[in-house]
Structure 1
Amino acid sequence: MICVWIDTRVLVAAAVLGLLVERVLGITDARLVQGTNVNLGEALQFLREYDSEASRMCFRVSSARWAYSTNMTDHNKRRMIEEQTLQAKFDKLSWKRAMTFDWTRLPDQMVRRQLKFLITNSRASLSDEKYNEIYHLISEMKDIYSHVRICPLNNHETLFCDLELDPDVLRIMSNSRNHMELAHTWKEWHDKVGPPMKNKFMRYVQIANQAARMNGFLDAGEEMRYAYEESDFENQVAEAWKSLQPLYRELFTYVRRKLLQLYGPNVIRPEGPLPGHLLGNLWAQDWSKIIDLVAPYPEYTSMDVTDEMLRQGFTPLRMFQMAEEFYTSLGLQPMPPEFWRFSMFDKPNDRKVQCTASAWDFCNKIDYRIKQCTEVNMDDLISTHHEMAHIQYYLHYAEQPYLYRDGANPGFHEGVSNAISLSIFNPVHLHRVGLFNQNTDSYETNINFLMLMALRKVAFAPFAYLIDLWRYEIFQNGVQNMNSAWWELRLRYQGVIPPIPRTESHFDAAAKRHIPADIPYMKYFVALLLEFQIHSSMCFAAGHEGPLHTCDIYRSREAGRLLA
């Protein structure tokens, strides 16, 4: 008999080293849960059955969600909840079956990948009770958010406290230049949306963390990051933000000086942070609505072509037809008949609807729709092209397995759609389609346009970055100081403070729907980085010469082939 002796100190050192490597590199597949079955034939059969059933279930749930989103009645809500409950049961059963396989040892890479998606992108490891509870919590928080109504300034009759987020609150924050009205509107929204859901969110954090740990993650934040399949993901996005930070600081300083001239030192501190209610947006994430206050050359024509659209008699339907023609000019597919038959293009007057613009895939390879309360203006023209880019993406991966009908990473869908928007929203394209009739070559026009883009894109970068930094912190360190942690990050990355003092009794992060709705936000930061790379590649394929902001890929079959 040969005995091998190993010093226990070596084992301890190896274990510590392993933990350190895991911390540096991120979660390893070996740490994730898996079963024992390594039969490839059985795995393939399971995935075929799953693909068929998951597609059918997706169609049922999407149909019920659509019915409720476009007609918010109690009956439709109950039906939606019933279908979502069935889907939850299906997801749990599918997870349990997937869990029987040791997916790390199967020889087929695609089978391994699909099983990994099924096992790691699910909270099905929870007990039935907690699995149902977390989705009920999310549903209740979304419900609170969608039903908040606030009072206008100087309202003495509670009867008139009926301002909705969209369009009322957003319109005030975009258009008002009365800092008292802006502060009141900001306070009303944050006070009414956050506190009612604070306890629900705290419980949600607890259960989400439990599910993540049962799947082999340290917490729910690590599980969110794992979707990018990058061991160094946090460092990569941190470096990306670091490279953008100097440009953001220049924009911030310039905007602060302009706002100081308007509002004075009693409202804007000359060397201090910016109050978040003065930037033309409820969340201070997009500053483009204050372009009239900060344009370098205010005497030159605005890029807003809304008046021209109204003069030409645009309708929501015409805006969607114009978007379709853009894509077919690239050689891409026209919208299918179901799109024109079932989509909701404008806000109906006879029922309550959920107005947030969104593109829908009903998972049956024929039914694709857009829901948008379209108004005839430039913003909605851009949004129409953006949402239709999602539909094009759906059409292009329709023949993939169900588990692959999504973006290449969580930010890729938005990155593609935003890249299209860059080609739509520029003076050259708007001139080509007959909406912008001014000289597109003048220095002043181009500088004003680039400032507008900075207000839309550069201003958005720190906001898009910090939302999930806050979430990661809450998942890792707990919910004790959620609100102070929120404003600490807002100040550190955006230089933004609330217009009035806030305490831990508030829950201001919930003012942004993605937080209570359990929708990751880092994907928007990733999309912001990707969109310019994608746009640049398409412009190169189209043979564009000159500054990137003057590139329009309209009618370029070469750009269309690359995009497809």
Structure 2
Amino acid sequence: MHKKLTAALLLGTALMLPLDAAAQRATKKNAEAFIAKVEEEKKAMDEEGARIAWARATNITYDTSWLEAKASARSTEKAVEWANEAKRYDRLDLSPELRRKLDILKQSITLPAPSADGAASELAEITTRLGNTYSTGTIEFEGETVPQNRTETLMRELRDPAKLEEVWTKWREQSKPMKEDYVRMVEIANEGAKELGYDDLGQMWRSNYDMDPDEFAAEVDRLWDQVKPLYENVHCAVKYELNEEYGDEVVPLDQPIRADLLGNMWAQSWGSIYDLVKPEGLEAEGVDIGALLEAQDYTPLKIAETAEGFFTSLGFDDLPETFWERSQITKPADREVVCHASAWNLDSEEDIRIKMCTEVNADDFQTMHHELGHNIYQRAYAGQDYLFRNDPNDGFHEAIGDMVALSITPAYLQQVGLLDELPSEDADLPILMQKALDGAAFLPFGLLVDKWRWQVFSGELQPDQWNEGWWALREEYQGIRPPNDRPADAFDPGSKYHIPGNTPYMRYFLARILQFQFYKAACDQAGWEGPLHRCSFYGNGEVGAKFNAMLEKGNSQPWQDSLEEFTGTREMDASAMVEYFRPLMDYLGEQNEDRSCGW
């Protein structure tokens, strides 16, 4: 999975002067003056903070980490000050635009610190330490020191259950030391959320969706119910094929699947084990994008150029020259960096970049399209007022790139010269199975990461229950289990970047739903009449123009309005995803008919 680093969360030197006595009065005029002052000063601070964060992410040292911690502390202090000031205007009758800006100030802090002296600094030091622990972690495997990004490669490539268990277990040793810091971080951030008027940090996160937080929790459960049958069919088929490969001792049919056997460090996407779990009836072969890239001597740079070409084919401008000069496209050999892929806009205007450790494979080919989707979005809303330069629902940003990835069809690969001949229709099911092993398999993981955090933030799970609660959710939603008994001091959630990185994760679940909803709308606009999974809107300028019109709105209106403008409906809906995978669901339903599914 991949994230957009929001520069607004990383502010720099606090330039804003204290409000004078007149400004303290809650009047419409003072609210307007307050917002005008915030927007001017926040832009400058965000850029400074983003440049410091970029320096640390692309060169992890004591000094860059120190700088980021200081900038983060200042940013948190200022963000909390602004949020508390915004509350003063809650009872005024204001324009929808002004009210929305005030709400954004109150709700957009990921980790609020209370106003007590030293709280913001302590929180910043903790979060920087957690991030560095993750990014610089290594394991020893077969006589070599293996960095974090290569552990992921091993989980994709290894087929020996004993070696998979070894790599899986050793990486989780790296997260044990995080727990003490995480406990303290939760305490501080919860205090900050309560100071802003929320019950806890989880409620604060759920309040950021233009709907009641309890209604939002019910909404994601409704969406999960729509796609659960798809996931259960894929899970059942995979379990039986793994049983054929490894036998009853490793994959007993009456238990959840071992988490280390699914081709991914966190069992969040399963595409890497397609060769093991392809149902026997699928004789045709899908498209091996990695092999196509290697055959044509693709480089990481050429992957980026190809992804750029997708967007320019829709009518978007070329990426600026500074993108190519300043991005980190491959992993530097001479320093520690954060390899987790992310897209950045450092000045909230034209200084867009990506940070990746790109390798020539199918995953990174799709990831590059995804990350450039973030950059295109960032560029599109750069003309909005500063507080509106974001997405209206954090699932939108992730869905934009994911939507484009769906358009990486055999037809698209042929159009860009990677594929000579289109596969026959017999290859549709293998291609859908490959995509389901990533897209559908991800759904419960995308849901449960924040469900776990909501329980942590509310106190429903106490620290001594955190790991047990994590695996209870993973079994309930994913039907997986750890490969061995977890020790009492384990902190397995910390093995996933977004936990120590404090990135809300519900955005990725929502993105999986929205990407298909956006994709179907684009295909409908393009006049596509065939099976949904074969549609590619590459080269369609009309779709690009309507798409850009939605992107340009940024966060200036509720997400329901933006969704309606592009798709014609105000409700998130997983039916497009179900339609996309319908041929596979029907096939797997027949295959699983006499099997003991579930866990």
**How does the TM-score come out when normalised to structure 2?**
0.83
Distance 1:418 1:278, change over 3 A: same
Partner of residue 297 from structure 2, selected from 295, 309, 313: 313
* Greater mean deviation of Cα atoms: 307-316 or 506-515: 307-316
Aligned to 1:435: 418
Partner of residue 498 from structure 1, selected from 467, 482, 506: 482
1:146 is aligned to 2:135: yes
Identical counterparts, % of pairs: 34
Q: CA deviation at 1:351?
A: 2.3
Where 1:359 maps in the other structure, the secondary structure is strand
Distance 1:339 1:465, change over 3 A: same
Where 1:397 maps in the other structure, the secondary structure is helix
Partner of residue 100 from structure 2, selected from 100, 113, 136: 113
Amino acid at match of 1:390: H
1:49 is aligned to 2:37: yes
1:184 is aligned to 2:166: yes
Task: Return the alpha-carbon distance in structure 2 between the equivalents of residues 137 and 340 of structure 1.
Answer: 33
Task: Return the alpha-carbon distance in structure 1 between the equivalents of residues 224 and 285 of structure 2.
Answer: 33
Q: CA deviation at 1:537?
A: 0.5
Cα deviations across residues 144-192 of structure 1 (Å, max 9, x unaligned)?
1112211215x4xxxx4x21110x2111100111000000111111122
Aligned to 2:235: 252
Structure 2 contact 114–189 (Cα < 8 Å) conserved: no
Aligned to 1:234: 217
Partner of residue 502 from structure 2, selected from 500, 518, 528: 518
Q: CA deviation at 1:298?
A: 6.4
Q: CA deviation at 1:439?
A: 3.4
Where 2:156 maps in the other structure, the secondary structure is helix
* Greater mean deviation of Cα atoms: 261-270 or 339-348: 339-348
Aligned to 1:548: 532
Partner of residue 415 from structure 1, selected from 379, 399, 409: 399
Q: CA deviation at 1:317?
A: 1.9
Q: CA deviation at 1:388?
A: 0.7
Where 2:354 maps in the other structure, the secondary structure is strand
Where 1:523 maps in the other structure, the secondary structure is helix
Where 1:128 maps in the other structure, the secondary structure is coil
Aligned to 1:462: 444
1:102 is aligned to 2:89: yes
Aligned to 2:115: 126
Q: CA deviation at 1:431?
A: 2.1
Where 1:382 maps in the other structure, the secondary structure is helix
Q: CA deviation at 1:384?
A: 1.2
Amino acid at match of 2:278: A
Amino acid at match of 1:41: K
User: Mind listing any 5+ residue stretches in structure 1 that lack a counterpart?
Assistant: 1-34
Task: Return the alpha-carbon distance in structure 2 between the equivalents of residues 276 and 503 of structure 1.
Answer: 16
Where 1:111 maps in the other structure, the secondary structure is helix
Structure 1 contact 482–504 (Cα < 8 Å) conserved: no
Cα deviations across residues 31-80 of structure 1 (Å, max 9, x unaligned)?
xxxx9833222222222221121111111111111112112232322333
Cα deviations across residues 377-433 of structure 1 (Å, max 9, x unaligned)?
222121111111111101111011222111111211001111111112x22211222
User: Mind listing any 5+ residue stretches in structure 2 that lack a counterpart?
Assistant: 1-22, 549-599
1:261 is aligned to 2:248: no
Where 1:459 maps in the other structure, the secondary structure is helix
Partner of residue 69 from structure 2, selected from 76, 81, 86: 81
* Greater mean deviation of Cα atoms: 305-314 or 285-294: 305-314
Task: Return the alpha-carbon distance in structure 2 between the equivalents of residues 211 and 96 of structure 1.
Answer: 10
Distance 1:85 1:237, change over 3 A: closer
Partner of residue 434 from structure 2, selected from 452, 476, 498: 452
Partner of residue 331 from structure 1, selected from 304, 315, 323: 315
Q: CA deviation at 1:294?
A: 1.5
Q: CA deviation at 1:246?
A: 1.6
Task: Return the alpha-carbon distance in structure 1 between the equivalents of residues 236 and 295 of structure 2.
Answer: 37
Deviating runs (4+, > 4 A) in structure 1? Answer: none
* Greater mean deviation of Cα atoms: 48-57 or 297-306: 297-306
* Greater mean deviation of Cα atoms: 299-308 or 508-517: 299-308
Q: CA deviation at 1:337?
A: 2.2
Aligned to 2:340: 356
Task: Return the alpha-carbon distance in structure 2 between the equivalents of residues 260 and 126 of structure 1.
Answer: 55
Task: Return the alpha-carbon distance in structure 2 between the equivalents of residues 222 and 190 of structure 1.
Answer: 29
Where 1:54 maps in the other structure, the secondary structure is helix
Task: Return the alpha-carbon distance in structure 2 between the equivalents of residues 355 and 545 of structure 1.
Answer: 40
1:380-391 matches, within 5 Å, as 380-391=364-375
Distance 1:235 1:94, change over 3 A: closer
Cα deviations across residues 326-350 of structure 1 (Å, max 9, x unaligned)?
1111111221222122112222222
Partner of residue 147 from structure 2, selected from 164, 178, 185: 164
Where 1:349 maps in the other structure, the secondary structure is coil
Structure 1 contact 69–354 (Cα < 8 Å) conserved: yes
Aligned Cα RMSD in Å?
A: 1.8
Task: Return the alpha-carbon distance in structure 2 between the equivalents of residues 546 and 120 of structure 1.
Answer: 43
Amino acid at match of 2:237: Y
Distance 1:284 1:407, change over 3 A: same
Alignment length, in residue pairs?
A: 519
Aligned to 1:60: 48
Q: CA deviation at 1:551?
A: 0.5
Structure 1 contact 483–503 (Cα < 8 Å) conserved: no
* Greater mean deviation of Cα atoms: 50-59 or 36-45: 36-45
Structure 2 contact 70–121 (Cα < 8 Å) conserved: no
Structure 1 contact 277–499 (Cα < 8 Å) conserved: yes
Structure 1 contact 484–504 (Cα < 8 Å) conserved: no
Structure 1 contact 285–463 (Cα < 8 Å) conserved: yes
Structure 1 contact 428–440 (Cα < 8 Å) conserved: no
